[in-house]
Structure 1
Amino acid sequence: MQDFTAISRLRIIAVPRLVAAGRWRTEAMRSLSEPCLLWFTKGQGRITLQGSTRGYTAHNAVFIPPGVMHGFDAGPAVFGIAVFFGRNCDVTLPKEPQHLRIREVHAQQEINLLLDAIQREQASDIAARERATQHYLGLLSVWLERQVLRAEPEASRPDATRRLVARYAALLEKEFRSGLGIADFAARLEVTPTHLTRCCKSACGRPASALLQDRRIFEAQRLLSETRIPVGHIAASLGFASPAYFTRAFHHLTGKSPTAFRRSA
């Protein structure tokens, strides 16, 4: 008998619902332990993916593999769907992040129909719904693969600045808990701190230090809202020199102390 555990972890969530959970859950730098597909159907905003910021509009599909640092803003006029595939998803998905501008009306209709079908199967209690969901997920992965192939001739090769920032984002995601500073990250990347900061500002409009602090504070917010780990332990686990320094940094970015944030979460 086929194991449908991965399907049970599949979630399809409207973008406005994600935003309603708190802007920090979409805008702050973070990564996921599962693949995610964002399909925007209305509105516009900006998304940062691997340290590079681009605008998105309606009919943009953004695929984010596990472990890739990202964040996006979404105002009240933005609508769309977020597909969280689950950690053990066994459909074929891209290995690299993708930002696809879907211009063909047929392709736009196709993904809308697939997402509607998946949601319909998830909401039903009819026979073989798990198997039907699995097949629709397979078709969604085929749709995504074809859009990536169609986009390749138009895609410009990332320049040296964006390649460096992507490397920094990947290293930051692995080491943001370590207490390393920007000078340490720059040394690992064999560049100067000034050059790293200049490249980050060019790629996403923010210095390297802001990306690092944003990632650490997002993780702190997640731990404060989802666990009862003491504040001092959270500070230590994220590489802050002391609980007092952590509290100052947290308040500077969020406007609240860690304890006040936990009470309001």
Structure 2
Amino acid sequence: MQRARIHDIECMAPEGPVPGFQIGPLEELRGRVPEGILERFNRVDFHTVTLITEGRGEHTVDFVTYDCVPGTLLWVRPGQVQRFGPRGELKGTHLRFAPAFPPPFPGSESLLAPWHRHVFHEAGDLKAGDLKAGGLSLAALTREYARLEPSREILRHLLTAVLLDLDRLPRRPSESRDCNDTYASFCSALEASYTTDHRVDQYAARLGYTVRTLTRACQSATGRTAKQVIDDRIALQAQRLLAHTEQPVSTIARALGFGETTNFSKFFARMTGVVPGDFRVLHGRGVPA
């Protein structure tokens, strides 16, 4: 698959005194990125965790727009596309880390997985930059990172505590589902093969489950059937590529396993309600079909 052209957001990459890790004020990030870049859909290959401490605004992740107020915490994972709201409306702490930066810990494979897409958390009351709910603290990470010679290992273990605490924050009722082991295995297989394998029976055979077992696991975790989960993943990637790359629709169709562009266009319209070209216009990318 042709590598998608990423918008000019290399300055967001987590580089600094500790490779693969960076933490600082959200407004500092705003100051480094040319105006207009963050307000367009972009994609990064690392995790970002943002705690809003001042202001009110919006942040869009994978085409879902979240209302942000003090106490909002957003976790955007590698591969997701995001769009920042207007400048100057939100302040807070912005953490960036590479997928391999945290040390292994129980549950890390699932928690850090690209398919684990819980983004929005209502973190609770704020005090001195810390979250009272769950004891989550980005301040400890900030203090260690600000030292003259910050310790990579201390940062890695502090980050582990933060991520585990984040994972136990209350979720919205629509997200309170059972992320069972069968569903996790299915999602991992899906991430590796959704561009070529579109049928549930292909995943069932590979994982050693029946189609019925996979469907029950998906319904328990998401309320969707296994086939719907597959279609959702393909449609999401199509939206991502249409919104943040200039690849022709025909190229995207082939990359996602569709032999004919017309079949892809029908699938996309069924899943999103608009054809690919109109979707691009809606998101400001009028490029060749």
Normalised by the size of structure 1, how large is the TM-score? 0.57
Give the alignment partner of residue 158 of structure 2, picking from 129, 134, 143.
143
Report the CA distance shift for 1:161/1:258 in structure 2 as closer, same or farther (over 3 A).
closer
Once superposed, what is the RMSD of the aligned Cα atoms?
5.2
Matched length: 216
Is the counterpart of residue 111 in structure 1 residue 123 in structure 2?
A: no
* Structure-1 residue corresponding to 2:64: none
Give the alignment partner of residue 96 of structure 2, picking from 81, 85, 95.
85
Report the CA distance shift for 1:66/1:233 in structure 2 as closer, same or farther (over 3 A).
closer
Is the CA contact 1:7–1:133 (under 8 Å) kept in the aligned structure 2? no
Report the CA distance shift for 1:203/1:88 in structure 2 as closer, same or farther (over 3 A).
closer
| Mapping of residues 208-223 of structure 1, within 5 Å | 208-223=226-241
Q: Which runs of 5+ in 2 are unaligned?
A: 1-14, 28-38, 54-69, 81-89, 113-117, 168-177, 284-289
Give 1:10 deviation, angstroms.
6.5
Is the CA contact 2:194–2:230 (under 8 Å) kept in the aligned structure 1? yes
Is the CA contact 1:11–1:85 (under 8 Å) kept in the aligned structure 2? no
Give the alignment partner of residue 264 of structure 2, picking from 242, 246, 251.
246
Q: Which runs of 5+ in 1 are unaligned?
A: 15-19, 26-30, 42-57, 70-78, 119-129, 153-159
Secondary structure of the residue aligned to 1:111 is coil
Report the CA distance shift for 1:162/1:89 in structure 2 as closer, same or farther (over 3 A).
closer
Is the CA contact 2:24–2:94 (under 8 Å) kept in the aligned structure 1? yes
* Structure-1 residue corresponding to 2:61: none
Is the counterpart of residue 35 in structure 1 residue 50 in structure 2?
A: no
| Mapping of residues 118-157 of structure 1, within 5 Å | 132=147, 135=150, 141-146=156-161
Is the counterpart of residue 178 in structure 1 residue 196 in structure 2?
A: yes
Report the CA distance shift for 1:112/1:147 in structure 2 as closer, same or farther (over 3 A).
closer
**Which stretch of structure 1 is more off in the superposition, 252-261 or 163-172?**
252-261
CA deviation profile, 1:161-183 (whole Å, cap 9, x unmatched): 81110000000011111133111
Is the CA contact 2:52–2:71 (under 8 Å) kept in the aligned structure 1? yes
Alpha-carbon distance in structure 1 between the residues aligned to 2:227 and 2:16? 42
Is the CA contact 2:21–2:96 (under 8 Å) kept in the aligned structure 1? no
Secondary structure of the residue aligned to 2:180 is helix
- Which structure has more relative contact order (CA 8 Å, sep 6+)? It is 1
Is the CA contact 2:198–2:230 (under 8 Å) kept in the aligned structure 1? no
Give 1:228 deviation, angstroms.
1.6
- Greater share of helix: 1
* Structure-2 residue corresponding to 1:52: none
Report the CA distance shift for 1:245/1:12 in structure 2 as closer, same or farther (over 3 A).
farther
Secondary structure of the residue aligned to 2:227 is helix
Report the CA distance shift for 1:231/1:101 in structure 2 as closer, same or farther (over 3 A).
closer
Give 1:113 deviation, angstroms.
3.4
Is the counterpart of residue 207 in structure 1 residue 225 in structure 2?
A: yes
* Structure-1 residue corresponding to 2:34: none
Is the CA contact 1:236–1:243 (under 8 Å) kept in the aligned structure 2? yes
Give 1:102 deviation, angstroms.
7.8
CA deviation profile, 1:18-38 (whole Å, cap 9, x unmatched): xx978xx9xxxxx97323446
Secondary structure of the residue aligned to 2:242 is helix
Identity of aligned residues (%): 23
Secondary structure of the residue aligned to 2:247 is coil
Is the CA contact 2:50–2:92 (under 8 Å) kept in the aligned structure 1? yes
Amino acid at match of 2:218: C
Secondary structure of the residue aligned to 2:238 is helix
Report the CA distance shift for 1:185/1:91 in structure 2 as closer, same or farther (over 3 A).
closer
Alpha-carbon distance in structure 2 between the residues aligned to 1:91 and 1:149? 11
Is the counterpart of residue 259 in structure 1 residue 270 in structure 2?
A: no
